[in-house]
Structure formats: structure tokens, C-alpha cells
Structure 1
Amino acid sequence: MNGFLDRVEGASGGFLLGAFLLYCAAFLLFGAAVTAKRRWDKAGFLAAAAGFVCHLLFFFTRWYISGYIPVSNMYEFMTFLAMMIVFAVLVLYLLYKSPALCAFSLPVGIVILAYASVFPKEITPLIPALQSRWLAIHVTLAASGEAFFAAGFAAGLMYLIRNVDFRSTDARWKRRGVEFTFFAMLAVIGFAVSSLGFQASGFRAVFEAPSAGREGQAVENRYTLPPLVSPHEGVYKEGSVFLGMRNGLLQAPGWMKGVQAGRKLNTVVWSLLAGGVLYGGLRAAARKPLGAVAQPFLRRMDPEDLDEIAYRSIAIGYPVFTLGALIFAMIWAHEAWGRFWGWDPKEVWALITWLFYAIYLHLRLSKGWHGEKSAWLAVLGFIIVIFTLIGVNLVITGLHSYAGV
């Protein structure tokens, strides 16, 4: 039986790799449809659909092996979110037949899937807090809503790239907003690439640091990225050495509480550095803002169509997210912790996300915020979603911190 499960687990990993490669091929085909001949968009759709089928096979084989729905940690949740983003892309293609929209939306799913790969992939028993039927309901609905927010983000960003005048000095802040969005996406890619690179090299460093709130006790901090920022008052114990640095360049400040504060800050620093290198390299190669590079490929897109697609995507995602991330989450919280609401960071940021999109819908439907204003809100909203998914789990300590392990 164990041999059979090992084979199924190996096949499961193969399905996910196949999905990733097919998504990349679909992106190239959609890109070719935009830049060259339109007939490539059908091939792109078929490649994305085939990748989605492989992704589903990964999902269900992992479910079979573990015995529970695979959305219990960062690796599983991010792979599921990527799958739902691709599903949203497929739906949008069937509705609008726009290769440009797919060419901009699909990379969001690819980046999320690449990001998932940096987390531990081992199947482990569910911790008691997750042993509930609400795991499947709460997490899958929340991720499905966020997938349509991602589609709205892509359409909103396309609208801005299509309409911002990158040669006008009057549009300076708009240009910077678009470029910051590109930088944020490249920071996630940079973190994934650097993490995978150091994992492949076998890098590992262990520090011992005083435990916050427990005088006289020490806690191990295990780094898989070189310690540019070491734990506050931490001491290097063993492991790899990067460029001759044992204790890092800086120590985490004392006001940063939490067992792994130094390691988490180090993750943020590496993400910003890697993103800066990628952005700087692309900007230097293009010799102009990245938004200006993308703009010519969107000239044929109708801005009103992009505006409508962003709105409809968010309008679909909002009630789904409301059910999954708020209502069912509160019911589960009452069962697990005896209260519907606490002030855990993940709960607070889920509420902030919900309120932000409520404001988006209110301003659009009641105040007539269409076009550029609506597009900026769609982009900013998904940046909040990404911070809720990544920043809160990996940087802020709370009841949901298990998801970042």
C-alpha cells in the first residue's frame, strides 16, 4: 500500500509540474496572438485548459493521499488559488475571446504557483485547529473570490497601461503607480526565484535568539535565505555561510516582537532586493518604463470593455469572498475558539479587504466611478489581497501563523 501511495504522490507532483509548463506555454501562445496572429489564442486556450486539468489531477490525488482537502498550508492554498485564477481566466476567455486579457491575467496565476513552490511540500497530519468541515468551505470559497479579484486586477491594470500617457510630465504619479505595480509583482517573482535557487544549493543557517516574553529561554531560527538580517541578539550556531557573513549585515530591531521576527524581516528584504534587481534589469533593457513597453500591445483593446471586465470580475468575486472569508470564517471561529470575531491580524485584513471592495462597488454603482478611478481601485484592491495572503502570514504573528510554516 505504501508503494502505491508513493507512486500516486510522485504522479501528483508530475501533474503540478505539467500544469505549470502548460500555463507557461499558454501565456506564450496568448502573447503570440496579441503580437502576431490572432489564431494562436485558441491554442493558448487549449493549453491553459489542459494545464487546468493537470492541476485538478494534482489537487485530487493530493486529497486522496492526505485524506483531507489540500488547502491547509501556504503551499496547498497557493496552488489552489493559482488553479482558481486559471479557472477565472478560462471563463473570461469564453465570455470575451480576448487574448490580451488572458496574456495579462494568466501570469498572475503562474506567479502565484511559482511562489507556492518555495514552501514545504510534505503532507503532514492536520493540526487540531484545522480538523473541521469548515476548512473546505471557508478556504475554497475565499480563494475562489480572490481569483476573480485577480482577474479584475489584470483588467484594471490593462486599462491603466492602455490610457496612461507615459510621455507626459502631468501623469507622473500615474506612471509611478503603474510601475510600482510591476515592481510588486516582480518582488514576488524575485522571492520565489531566490528561494528556489538557495534551496537547490542546500543553503541553511541556524541562529539562536532570546525568546520574546520568556526571559532566559532561547529559540532556534532556521534560515533558508542568507541572513542579511539576523535575529535580534541572535547568535549563529551552524549551517551555511553566505559571502563570509555569519551574523548577517544587520540585526532585526528590538521592537519587532515574535519568535521568527528576524527571519521574516529577512524574507521581506530579500523580496525587495530581488524585485529591484529584476525590475532594474528589465527597465535598463527596455530603456523606458515597463508600462510604456506594454502599452502598444493594448492599443486595440476597448477601454470600456476593460472597465466592464474588471467590474464584472469583482462583482462575481465579492459575494463569493463574503461567504468564504467572512461569514463561514466567523462560524468556524465560533466553533474553534468560542467567538465569532477576534482581532487576529488575518481576520482584520480579511475585513479590510472586504470593506475595500464594498467601497469599490459603492463608488462605482452610486457615485459613477468608472474608467480610470475604478481601475486604480481594482489594482489597489488586489495589492491588499496579496498583502493579506503573503504579508500577514509571513510577517505578522497571529492565530493563522500556522499557514506560513
Structure 2
Amino acid sequence: MSLIDFSSDAFIVAFFLYCFAFMFYVIAIAGKKWSNRDSLQHEKRWGRIAFITSNVGLASHLTFFFTRWAGSGQIPTSNMYEFMTFLGMSIMIAFTIIFAIYRKPLLGMFALPLTVIIIAYAAVFPQEVQPLIPALDSIWLKIHVTTAALGEAFFAIGFAAGLMYLLRVVDFNGKTKAARRSQFWVEFSLYTIIVIVGFIIAVFAFRGMGYEAQFIQEQSKIDSRGTETSTTDTVTYTLPPIVKPYNSEVVTVDSFLGMDKPVLEAPYWMNGVNAGRKLNTVVWSIIAGTILYGLLRLVFRKPLGAVIHPVMEGIDPEDLDEISYRSIAIGFPIFTLGALIFAMIWAEIAWGRFWGWDPKEVWALITWLYYSAYLHFRLSRGWQGRRSAWLAVIGFVIVLFTLIGVNLVIAGLHSYSGT
């Protein structure tokens, strides 16, 4: 067995251990209500079991990382699969540090699912080792990417604690306008997470079915001299084509539920080779996520926030507020070093300039400015509680767009990250 194969096995082990750890955290928190013994002892015992299990999962995840590095001869952070798996591992490292400080098992109920979703999302992408392009073949790749991801991991823990705070303090029985507004936005946050889960389910379901559709797309390009040239590309879908590429013809389309041809065509301004496919993926993510959300609502017969809220009873919201703030305060200087300072040094070496207004650079700066504003409002204006929690939640949405939206949708020098 090669090191690459061994690393893949270690990755699968880590994934299932994280799932088991999450279930143990649920037992620690939700199960204490039905425990015949002292509820505090129940929480401590199962919380300890969950923490040990998550640490064993992290050890397996680290084994995956270093054996893949040794087997490929390059640090495994050069494409979306490798980077997202590293981000998931970083979130577990950040969670372990924060848990060791505050000893709150409830945090595991939210941090572990976030890790599971991210590494499941990573598994959607091609897992083959890809050779580094020249711009990536530098020690600054190791420094820049790893520190940026670790900073984002602490932001993720801040997001988890912030969302927990909102689920704890929002009155889901309130009928006032303010209460309904808070209920809606908390529910929308949960719905957004479920849309990502829906995307993962849809991709793996159709991949298991072996679904495929192919199109031939013609594109016109104008070079620097003003000469127009036409190119023909083959675009392959692995999800049923609700939206086909702009200016394309069908080659083959597998029938699905009677749908044997595209419903719509991508708009003219989305004329990149993969633009239509990505738009189609977004549409399917929303469809799958909405169906999953609807099924959960049907099962519980109430908003998901109202389902989770009773679990939060007895938790001091000030502890959650403190955890969210401390996580972001730890992550901010790490992110500053990795995503800005080290990134600029690497950009100067790779492309001969510190700054070039590349989309990824711009959104990294936006993320940094946002969290700078968060810390300013927190420390100078006394924004705590709900305001701080909402800022933490919105901030991680910006991080996700920087990671997913910019890498996979917006073309730029960092587009290789989405291959």
C-alpha cells in the first residue's frame, strides 16, 4: 500500500471518528435531561469521551496530512480538496485549543458538524495529487496557506459560538416584530448551512448514479491586438442540466425524472468554460437544501431554531459570547500574518508585485477589514451580546464566500485552487 492510499484510509477514519464524537457530544448535552444520575456528572463523563474521540480523529487527520505530504512530495494544500481538508483539520485544532481553555462540551455540538461538513465538501473535488504549478512551488505556499487557514479556523469557532449564543437568547415564542426578525435570520443561517449539506448530498447521489451530461460550447475571444478568435470546448456536467452553458449544443444528456434536456440557458455574460456548470451546481444546491430543510421541518413540525433552543437552556450566554470573541481575537493576528503579510511576500516572489487587485486578494482584504471592524466595535464601542454574535456569524459567511465563491466562481490568479 502506498502512502497516498494509506493517507486516504486515515482520512476516512478521521471522518467517522468526528461523526462519533459529534454524537457523543449530543449525548453529553441532550442526554443529561434523561439521565437518572447527576446531570453534571453525565455531561462531564460523556463530554470527556467525546473530547477523546475527537482528539483521536484529529490524530488520524494529522496522519492523513503528513502521509499525503510524504507520499506526494509536496504540502497537501494546493487544490480545493487538499485545502478544505486542511481547513477542517485546522478547525479541529482551534476547537481543541478553545475547549481546553473553557471546557464547554456544548461547543462540540456545533464545531464538530462544521468540521464534518467542510471535509465532506472537500471530498466532492478530485482527490488525485496534482503537480504544483511554478507559482505555487515555494516555501511561502506552506507559510501563507497554513497560517491563513488556521486564522480562518478560529473564525469558524467564533461563528459556532456566535450562532450558539443566538440560539440561546432568541425568543422563539415571541410575537413582536423584533422577535420575529431575529427568528427569521437565525433560521435563515441554519437554512444556509443545510443548503451546503444539500449540495454535498446531491453531488454524491448523482455521482453514485454515474450521471453525466455533455455539451459543446463555442466562445469568442478578443486578444490584446483586437483579433477575434473562436474556440470550442466540451463541458461535462455531473448534475442534471437545469441550466446549460451559454451558446452551447447538447452532446449527450442522461434522463433524470423525465428531464432529458436543459430547462434554461446561462446568461450571455456567464460565458466562461465552467460558468454554466457552476450556476447549475448552485441551482441544485438550493433545490437539494430546500428539500432537506422542508423534510426536517416536516419531521419536527417547527422551525429548526426552535428545535435546538431547548438544548441551550442552562447555558450561560455570557460564556458563549466570551468564547466567540476570544476565538476571533486569537484568529485575527494569525489571519493577518497568513492572508495579508505572508501572502504579499509570496505575491512579490511569484508575480513580481505585492498587490494586484486579484479577486482573492481583494476578498482577503475585505475579510481582514471586516474582522478589524468587529474588534473595533467590540473593544471601543462595547458591542457585546447579540450585536457581537451577529457580526461573528456574518463574518464567517464572508470567509466562506472568499473560500468557495472566489475560488470556484470568480476567475483570477487563484483559480487553480478550484481545480
Normalised to the residue count of structure 1, the TM-score between the two structures is 0.96
| 2:191 partner amino acid | F
Q: Does 1:30 align with 2:25?
A: yes
Is residue 219–residue 271 contact of structure 2 (8 Å, CA) maintained in 1?
A: no
Q: Equivalents in 1 of 2:416, 2:181: separation in Å?
A: 38
Question: In structure 1, what is the equivalent of residue 114 of structure 2?
Answer: 108
Looking at structure 1, the residues matched to 208 and 22 of structure 2 have their Cα atoms a distance apart, in angstroms, of 26
1:152 to 153, 158, 163: 158
User: Do structure 1's residue 122 and structure 2's residue 137 form an aligned pair?
Assistant: no
The equivalent residue for 2:217 is 209
Q: 2:245 aligns with which of 201, 218, 231?
A: 231
Shift of 1:331: 1.1
CA distance in 2, matches of 1:93, 1:356: 25
1:82 alignment partner, one of 54, 64, 88: 88
Deviation at 1:287, TM superposition (A): 1.2
CA–CA separation in structure 2 for the residues paired with 1:95 and 1:58: 27
Q: Is the 8 A contact 1:212 1:257 kept in 2?
A: no
Equivalent residues in 2 for 1:4-403, closer than 5 Å: 6-36=1-31, 37-38=42-43, 39-169=45-175, 170=177, 171-213=179-221, 215-238=229-252, 240-403=254-417
For the residue of structure 2 that corresponds to 1:292, the secondary structure is: helix
Mean CA deviation greater in 218-227 or 362-371: 218-227
What CA deviation, in whole Å up to 9, does each residue of 1:10-35 have, x standing for no partner? 21111000000000000000010001
CA separation in 1, counterparts of 2:268 and 2:261?
16
Could you give the per-residue CA deviations for residues 134-169 of structure 1, whole angstroms, max 9, x where no partner exists? 110110001000000000000000000100111223
For residue 70 of structure 1, what is the amino acid of its counterpart? P
Gaps of 5+ in 1: 1-5
- Per-residue deviation at 1:108? 0.6
Q: Distance in 2 between matches of 1:298 and 1:191?
A: 28
User: How far has the Cα of 1:311 moved from its partner?
Assistant: 0.3
CA offsets 1:102-143 (integer angstroms, 9 cap, x no match): 111111111001100000000121112211111101100010
Identity %: 56
Q: Cα deviations across residues 30-67 of structure 1 (Å, max 9, x unaligned)?
A: 01000123121111001100000000010011001110
User: 2 CA distance for matches of 1:100 and 1:167?
Assistant: 23
Shift of 1:257: 3.7
Structure 1 equivalent of residue 225 of structure 2 = none
The question of whether the paired residues in 2 share the 8 Å contact of 1:157 and 1:375 is answered with yes
Helix, strand or coil for the counterpart of 2:357?
coil
Give the alignment's Cα RMSD to 1 decimal: 1.3
Distance, in Å, in 2 between the alignment partners of 1:325 and 1:240 is 43
Q: Tell which deviates more after alignment, 337-346 or 64-73.
A: 337-346
- Give how far 1:212 is off: 4.8
| Deviation digits for residues 333-384 of structure 1 (CA, Å, limit 9, x no counterpart) | 1111111111211111111111110000000000000110000000000011
Code of the aligned partner of 2:298: A
Instruction: Tell me the TM-score normalised to structure 2 length.
Output: 0.93
Give the whole-Å Cα distance in 2 for the aligned partners of 1:67 and 1:199: 30
Q: Which residue of 1 aligns with 2:37?
A: none
C-alpha separation between the residues in 1 aligned to 2:220 and 2:338? Answer: 34
Cα distance in 1, alignment partners of residues 183 and 195 from structure 2: 18
Moved >6 Å (runs of 4+): none
Which ranges of structure 2 fall in alignment gaps of 5 or more residues?
Answer: 32-41, 223-228
Equivalent position SS for 1:218: strand
